[in-house]
């Protein structure tokens, strides 16, 4: 009886094994990173495709991220966390928290989750 052929791990035959170092200014590095983001490619995959004039990697591993939008959302998340902390403190003191206030906070959380998902390239 013959043994089944061993399957190689995904990508193990083409895994890159020799690193290449490159010195860039901060501005050059930022420009290359921005180009890779626009192409929705990891930095190494983008640089490899440009240097070797080869097609980009077959699988895009990450969507482009709207960094400015995410920065705005971090601020919103901080304000929302502060509001929820205040509501929690009131509830722990035994004070009544109006249901409409809780509903508004929940709506804010849902909107923020939707905005973050869109910024990350997900459609929920």
**Tens digit of pLDDT for each residue in 43-81?**
888 898 999 988 877 655 555 566 777 778 888 888 888
Of 47, 63, 79, the one marking the end of a domain is 63
**Residue 3 included in any domain:** no
User: E strands, 1-81, where?
Assistant: none
State the Cα–Cα distance between residues 116 and 124, nearest whole angstrom: 11
Q: How far is CA 68 from the centre of its chain?
A: 13
pTM of the model: 0.42
- Indicate whether 75 and 96 sit together in one domain: yes
Q: Which residue has the tokens 């052929």?
A: 5
Tell me what pLDDT residue 65 has.
Answer: 64
**Residue 38: domain span:** 23-63
Q: What is the average pLDDT value for the chain, to the nearest integer?
A: 80
What tokens appear for 41 in the block? Answer: 């490619």
One domain, residues 53 and 76: no
End-to-end CA distance of the chain: 51
Q: Is the same domain home to 58 and 73?
A: no
- Domain membership of residue 74 (yes or no) is yes
């Amino acid at each position: 009886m013959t043994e089944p052929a061993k399957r190689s791990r995904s990508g193990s035959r083409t895994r890159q094994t020799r690193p290449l170092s490159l010195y860039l200014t901060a501005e050059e590095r930022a420009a290359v990173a921005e180009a890779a983001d626009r192409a929705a490619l990891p930095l190494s995959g983008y640089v490899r495709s440009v240097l070797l004039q080869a097609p980009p990697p077959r699988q895009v591993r990450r969507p482009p991220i709207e960094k400015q939008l995410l920065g705005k959302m971090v601020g919103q998340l901080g304000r929302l966390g502060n509001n929820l902390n205040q509501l929690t403190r009131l509830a722990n003191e035994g004070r009544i928290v109006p249901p409409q206030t809780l509903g508004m906070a929940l709506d804010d959380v849902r909107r923020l989750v939707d905005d973050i998902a869109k910024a990350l390239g997900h459609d929920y």
